[in-house]
């Protein structure tokens, strides 16, 4: 995760505006904005902004992207109409989570991702994190249970309109609970 994504995720997890975070961190709002865009950012500023949002910075021994970073990539891919690359990013998050265990796996799902601007994809990210963390006996972070991460009616993740919609028996439980219809074998390692 980049520092800019981390700061934005921390601020949004506390439902703060940039100005509110600036006030709490005792810096200018323009500096918050530049930091969230990845400009003029140093470690001291990151630490100060995270503290202003009520967070601390910890590191984990991994080079894998977390859910927040992957959600940002999915948002970009969807904005360009590329659902295939959005799915690849989701599958990479799956692989990242499966490859790690214990604390490091938990860290990959900890930071609340920003919305992808598509509720089905937001629900899919939450479902994947909940599934893989619980599979490893880890508690899921609160953000995965946010009502905005559930769909009121089941929806298939449409990548190719010719793909059939999976029956519920073929959908991972966490996906089915959130109303996202995705084939279980899509997430199987190859």
What would the pLDDT profile of 72-131 be if each residue is shown by its tens digit? Answer: 999 999 999 999 999 999 999 999 999 999 888 999 998 889 999 999 999 999 999 999
Confidence of residue 20 (pLDDT cuts 50, 70, 90): very high
Distance in angstroms (rounded) separating the CA atoms of residues 67 and 160? 24
Question: Is this prediction's pTM over 0.85?
Answer: no
Distance in angstroms (rounded) separating the CA atoms of residues 17 and 11? 7
Residue-level pLDDT at 111: 85
Domain spans, the chain? 3-52, 67-187
Question: What CATH architecture is 3-52?
Answer: Orthogonal Bundle (1.10)
How far does CA 125 lie from the centroid of its chain? Answer: 6
Closest CA to 72 of 107, 43, 112: 112
Residue-level pLDDT at 170: 95
């Amino acid at each position: 995760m980049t520092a800019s994504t981390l700061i934005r995720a921390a601020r949004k997890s506390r439902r703060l505006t940039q100005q509110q975070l600036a006030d709490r961190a005792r810096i200018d709002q323009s500096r918050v904005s530049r930091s969230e865009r990845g400009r003029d950012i140093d470690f001291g500023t990151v630490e100060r902004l995270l503290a202003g949002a009520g967070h601390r910075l910890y590191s984990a021994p991994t080079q894998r992207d977390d859910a927040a970073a992957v959600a940002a990539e999915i948002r970009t891919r969807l904005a360009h109409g590329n659902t295939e690359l959005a799915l690849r990013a989701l599958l990479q998050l799956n692989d990242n989570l499966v490859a790690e265990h214990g604390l490091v796996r938990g860290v990959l799902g900890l930071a609340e991702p920003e919305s992808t601007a598509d509720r089905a994809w937001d629900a899919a990210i939450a479902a994947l994190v909940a599934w893989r963390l619980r599979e490893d006996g880890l508690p899921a972070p609160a953000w995965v249970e946010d009502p905005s991460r559930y769909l009121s009616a089941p929806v298939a993740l449409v990548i190719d309109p010719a793909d059939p919609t999976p029956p519920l028996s073929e959908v991972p439980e966490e996906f089915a609970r959130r109303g996202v219809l995705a084939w279980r074998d899509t997430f199987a390692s190859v």
